[in-house]
Amino acid sequence: MVLEPLQASDLETLVTGVNLLWVLVVTFLIFFMHAGFAMLEAGQVRSKNVANQLTKNLLTWSVGVTVFFVIGAGFSSLVGGSGFVPAFQTSDPNSWVSWLFGAVFAMTAATIVSGAVAGRAKLRAYITYTFLLAAVIYPFVTGITWAGAYISFGGEAFHDFAGGMIVHGMGGIAGLTAAYVLGPRMGRYNDDGSANVIPGHSLTFAVLGTLILAFGWYGFNVGTAASVFALSESGELTLGAFSYVGRVAMTTTIAMACGAIGAAAVAWAKTGKVDTLYVANGLLAGLVGITAIPDTTTWWGAFLVGGLAGAQLPIVFGFVEKRLKIDDVCAVFPVHGSAGVLGTLMFPFVATPGTVGSVANAFIAQLIGVVAIAGWTIVATGAVWAVLKAVGQARVTPEHEQEGLDVSEHGVETYPEFGSGDSVVADGGIMNEEVRTDGGSKDD
């Protein structure tokens, strides 16, 4: 049997189909990161707030993705100079594949904030902020960067391949801002300003969430190389963005590993112990650090960026906790904010030869982008939460915070077998009657 050569139209169909399939697969992989965020955050909060954190993650996606469809995508195109073109105004159904790919990035930025405000934010306040983030705050950032490409200096354009600053840096800075406006949880600081450690209820969940996120991150970074095939002008089938997909996969993996090593090393140097949660969050910080630049970074640059992103985590977390007195429950700023800034700024110093013309100009372009995104995020986020706070809708009452948000906000208990009682324990939670191992009570 002799196979006939493919016609030009057949090649075009093949290229389109394979590229669409690739984008959908990696989009589903990125969506699964929400399971990782849910487990990571649930593990880092107290047992009385687990259901609240899970609900926030579910509603972040559900509210955010619909708002991004109706408003956010159009606002991004408006800021980018293409006019207000909402996602539902299209004559090509396949264009919704690109919209969905953008939507999972937007929802990643949104869900990061929930970890910073855990344990004291009203659900209605968080959902209000999620609505505005998906409609305006995040789309403005993508409008001035990916959609509009407005940021440059001396012929060097701002570079953020997969959202190290645009998604993660923005989300981490938003979380820190919201946590500052809300104020710390009850019992987090003493009268003399010293900090109390309020441990999460499950390291198992936190580490599981970390590994799910790391798995999904391959969709985030490698998936941004969104075209598998391309057609040359002469009609020949060539590789698209897959010409550098191997570099993206390698730098993502190395930076991830070095992030965990860097955080472990600094934690050990500071305390003589290797803190499990620092290692887990350091792994994520290494991923965040490389996310802006995996397509251009050298192999040794991946070691450097990942290692530094992990190493800064315990240092920055300590600064936020003890100097700034901001209660960032899930360490979203050192994991996503400062690590995203670091990786974005290191772009010209670790790039492969010939990537940038002027290291100085490229660094200034990166710096302008970081300052613009951070400034907009701080102002917009601070304004929203300040208004919510002014009208008394930002934070739950002290009684509800002490009782736990699972009961006060949702009327459920994540661990009902432990029940509810009227005794207050040291961490501000509610202690059940004493339960014996034989199933009896203390009065038997």
pLDDT, mean over the chain:
92
Cα-Cα end-to-end distance for the chain: 85
Higher pLDDT, 444 or 4: 4
| Tens digit of each residue's pLDDT (9 = 90 or more) over 227-240 | 898 888 877 888 88
**Beta-carbon contacts of residue 430 (< 8 Å; ≥ 6 apart):** 48, 402, 403, 404, 420, 421, 422, 423, 424
Is residue 375 scored above 90 in pLDDT? yes
Higher pLDDT, 370 or 441: 370
- Which residue type does 86 have? P
DSSP at 231: E
CA distance 17 to 20: 5
At 439, the pLDDT band (50, 70, 90 cuts) reads very low
Q: What is the CATH number of the domain that holds 95?
A: 1.10.3430.10
- Which residue type does 78 have? L
At 422, the pLDDT band (50, 70, 90 cuts) reads very low
**Beta-carbon contacts of residue 375 (< 8 Å; ≥ 6 apart):** none
Task: Say what the pTM is.
Answer: 0.91
- Percent of the chain residues past pLDDT 90, beyond the cut: 85
Closest CA to 117 of 431, 331, 348: 331
Looking at residue 5, its pLDDT comes to 60
How much is the average pLDDT of 248-267? Answer: 98
- Does a structural domain hold residue 441? no
Strand segments, DSSP code E, in 311-382 are none
Looking at residue 424, its pLDDT comes to 39
> If residue 112 lies in a helix (H) or strand (E), which one and from where to where?
helix 95-116
| Tens digit of each residue's pLDDT (9 = 90 or more) over 186-230 | 999 999 999 999 999 999 999 999 999 999 999 999 999 878 988
Bridge partners (DSSP) of residue 156 are 153
How much is the average pLDDT of 384-413? Answer: 96
Does residue 74 contact residue 141 with C-beta atoms inside 8 Å?
no
Does residue 159 contact residue 296 with C-beta atoms inside 8 Å?
yes
Alpha-carbon radius of gyration of the chain:
23
CA distance 131 to 110: 9
Looking at residue 39, its pLDDT comes to 98
Distances from the Cα of 358 to the Cαs of 25, 121, 145, 247, 342, in angstroms? Answer: 37, 46, 20, 22, 19
Looking at residue 54, its pLDDT comes to 97
Looking at residue 429, its pLDDT comes to 45
- Does a structural domain hold residue 429? no
> If residue 239 lies in a helix (H) or strand (E), which one and from where to where?
strand 237-239
Looking at residue 4, its pLDDT comes to 56
How much is the average pLDDT of 301-330? Answer: 97
Q: Return the axis-axis angle of helices 33-44 and 203-221, rounded to nearest 10°.
A: 150
What the block records as the tokens of 329 is 């429950």
- For the chain, the domain total comes to 1
| Tens digit of each residue's pLDDT (9 = 90 or more) over 144-176 | 999 999 999 999 999 999 999 999 999 999 999
How much is the average pLDDT of 398-424? Answer: 82
CA distance 70 to 87: 6
- Which residue type does 329 have? V
- What residues make up the domain containing 143? 8-228+237-408
- Does a structural domain hold residue 300? yes
Looking at residue 252, its pLDDT comes to 98
DSSP at 395: B
- Does a structural domain hold residue 421? no
CA distance 74 to 92: 16
| Tens digit of each residue's pLDDT (9 = 90 or more) over 50-80 | 999 999 999 999 999 999 999 999 999 999 9
How much is the average pLDDT of 281-292? Answer: 98
Looking at residue 436, its pLDDT comes to 38
How much is the average pLDDT of 91-118? Answer: 95
Is residue 358 scored above 70 in pLDDT? yes
Is residue 438 scored above 80 in pLDDT? no
